[in-house]
Amino acid sequence: MVLPGLFILAVVIQLVYALYFFTRILFLPLARTEPGMAHEPVSIIICAKNEAANLKKNLPAILAQRYQDSAGGRNYEVIVVNDASTDNTAEILSELQAQFSCLKIATIPHDAPRSLPGKKYALSIGVANVTHHWLLLTDADCAPARDTWLAQMVVPLGDGKELVAGYGGYNEAAGLLNAFIRWETLHTFLQYSTYILAGKPYMAVGRNMACTKDALEKAQRSVIWGVLPSGDDDLLVRVAATPHNTAVVCDTAAFTWSDAKATWREWAVQKQRHMSTGKYYKGGIKLLLGAYGTSHAAMWVLFIVLMFTPFQKAVLLAMGARCIVYWALWVVTGVKLQSRRIIYLFPLFDIGWMVYNFAFLPYITWKNKQHWK
């Protein structure tokens, strides 16, 4: 009776977790603003290292946002930090600067002494060059969904919030890897957005997040800021977030879209870097996330084992109840995040996520990925 008992415990943990956290996605509010409405001025920061092609493709849409001051002029600036690029990033930026007066360029020489590792140093240069208190962070490979992206993302800052988590999705392409990346991104958003709504913020994605300058500078002064070359998004939330100063925006106009990695190897390297930050989450958050991941893995392993025992019918019933709840919530999330075309793959990816966690366990628990680019 030990294995059936453990299986039921895992299912109960999964259901309690979903009902307490994930059901909050049903009530996730949309951003509130009108295109062109006057707001506080904003500084958009992009750190770029050998991103000439992405900057040429995506930066014009960022530079053409509808976000005006009372006189009808652009009420924002875009600071691109050229981090010792060896491609033609400098030329692309120079051409765009001639077209858009709101573009500022900060260049880091190859031989510049660095006080922080990787992207952290480039971001510090970007912050040193901003002129506004409201900041919006994104990456060179990200394209805003609409020309009201900026206006939507900073609405919570106007309501007194200090951190705003947005959604950074991936463009659809052929292949199972692309579908899994889009599902995993959807699943991650479901997790961190509902944690924020529950007053337990623990992460955001640097592809699309807003904050105040004070919040980012507070994170930069913290002891843990320099432990990794990336992870600025999660560590910013780790240091500066409170149950009441963080918001999430889920309006489709506020999304950013990027091209996903094309090979399993490239994606694995990217995930190793992303997951290196998890060990620096607060203890309570690590306990909750660990309970979720552990119960998920135990549930599937025990389900397979118990299907060959006399407990088969009871196991099927319990697993069926759990899957109905989870898959329904994932469908709702998929609709909200414009990911309807992968809905039919949710059962496969439910099992795949167990394999994913086993594969990246070393980076979740103790290893650090020490390179940005």
Residues 6 or more apart whose Cβ sits within 8 Å of residue 48: 54, 55, 80, 81, 82, 83, 85, 89, 140
pLDDT at 45: 98
Distance separating alpha carbons of residues 232 and 273, to the nearest angstrom: 11
Span of 2-11, 222-231, 255-264 with lowest mean pLDDT:
222-231
**What residues are paired with 46 via a beta bridge?**
80, 138
CB 356 within 8 A of CB 349: no
Residue-wise pLDDT for 269-316, tens only, equals: 877 766 667 778 899 999 999 999 999 999 999 999 999 999 999 999
Contact (Cβ atoms closer than 8 angstroms) between residue 231 and residue 277: yes
Does the structure show a pLDDT above 60 at 368?
A: no
Least confident of 217-221, 266-270, 368-372: 368-372
Query: Residue 373: which pLDDT band, with cuts at 50, 70 and 90?
Result: low
Q: Give phi and psi for 64, each to the nearest 5.
A: -115, 30
CB distance 248 to 200 below 8 Å: no
Residue range 101-131, pLDDT digits in tens: 999 999 999 999 988 888 899 999 999 999 9
> Looking at residue 73, what is its pLDDT?
87
At 340, is the pLDDT very low, low, confident or very high (cuts 50, 70, 90)? very high
3-state helix, strand, coil in the chain (%, to 5): 55, 15, 30
More confident residue, 156 or 228: 156
The partner residues of 248 in beta bridges, in order of sequence, read 165
Residue 211 has pLDDT above 80, yes or no: yes
Q: Which H/E stretch holds residue 248?
A: strand 246-248
What gap in Å lies between CA 290 and CA 370, rounded to an integer?
A: 24
Q: If DSSP codes are grouped into helix, strand and coil, which group holds residue 165?
A: strand
Share of the chain above pLDDT 70, in %: 92
In angstroms, rounded to a whole number, what is the distance separating the alpha carbons of residues 280 and 247? 21
| Nearest Cα to Cα of residue 14 among 303, 237, 309 | 303
Mean pLDDT for the chain overall: 92
Three-class secondary structure assignment of 73-129? CECEEEEEEEECCCCCHHHHHHHHHHHCCCEEEEEECCCCCCCCCHHHHHHHHHHHH
Do 42 and 137 touch, CB atoms closer than 8 A?
Answer: no
pTM over the 0.75 mark: yes
> Integer distance in angstroms from the first to the last C-alpha of the chain?
51
Give tens-digit pLDDT for 19-76: 999 999 999 976 666 655 557 999 999 999 999 999 999 999 999 999 998 888 899 9
Domains of the chain by start residue, with CATH: 2-25+283-361 (no CATH), 30-279 (3.90.550.10)
**Both tokens assigned to 4:** 């059936």
User: Which of these, 301, 295, 298, 204, lies nearest to 254 by C-alpha position?
Assistant: 204
For residue 222, give every residue at least 6 positions away whose Cβ sits within 8 Å of its Cβ, in sequence order, or none: 235, 239
> Distance between CA 100 and CA 64 in Å, rounded?
8
Cα–Cα distance measured from residue 240 to residue 215, given in angstroms and rounded to the nearest whole number:
6
Three-class SS state of 160: coil
For residues 127-139, give the mean pLDDT. 97
Burial of 37 (0-12, 13-18, 19+ CB in 10 A): middle
Q: What is the DSSP letter of 72?
A: S
Q: Which two tokens stand for residue 234?
A: 């999660």
